[in-house]
Structure 1
């Protein structure tokens, strides 16, 4: 079976053979891996820079995103000016952006 398009042809058998080849090489790569892993030991524990984790450790969200927020601080401060908290403003912006996007799509 062959589907001829303006850009070439599409054959499901070629794609099936390609998927089988990728699966085979993935399996082969997995088989060549190390066999030293032991489940239920310290190898299952997360690596926390070599330190033992406290029993009931909890990492808050403000700590998790700290670097992300620091890197984007100028952008976030600029966007904070536009934040009103009023849902109608966000709906209006969404309608305007969708209308502009549709206009661009229809004109191109």
Structure 2
């Protein structure tokens, strides 16, 4: 069962065999893991350079501060367009898709 295309072939059985091989390799690596690991201990906490997790938390407002500050005029215009209503977003999607559809029909 081979699908011939203009650029080669695609054999689903070959891909299925490859996926099975990768799965077996992953199971082999997983089975050779540490046996003395126990869940619910400090060993499963992420290492944050010795800091407590609550002290290393960076909020979303701080994370994007540079982008928002650098593009303040653009962000303010976007905030003015933001209403929070799904109906508005669906209407924008329909309008943009109609414009793209017209461009494809006329130009393509």
Structure 1: gaps (5+ residues): none
Question: Where does 1:29-68 land on structure 2 (aligned, <5 Å)?
Answer: 29-52=29-52, 63-68=58-63
**What is the TM-score of this pair, normalised by structure 1?**
0.63
Are residue 80 (structure 1) and residue 76 (structure 2) matched? yes
RMSD between superposed Cα atoms in Å? 3.4
1:92, 1:52 → 2: CA distance?
46
SS of the aligned residue for 2:71 comes to helix
Q: 1:78 to 1:52 in 2, by over 3 A?
A: closer
Q: Deviations over 1:62-103 (max 9, x none)?
A: x52134321321235413124145679867654442233223
1:98, 1:16 → 2: CA distance?
37
1:20, 1:9 → 2: CA distance?
20
SS of the aligned residue for 1:35 comes to coil
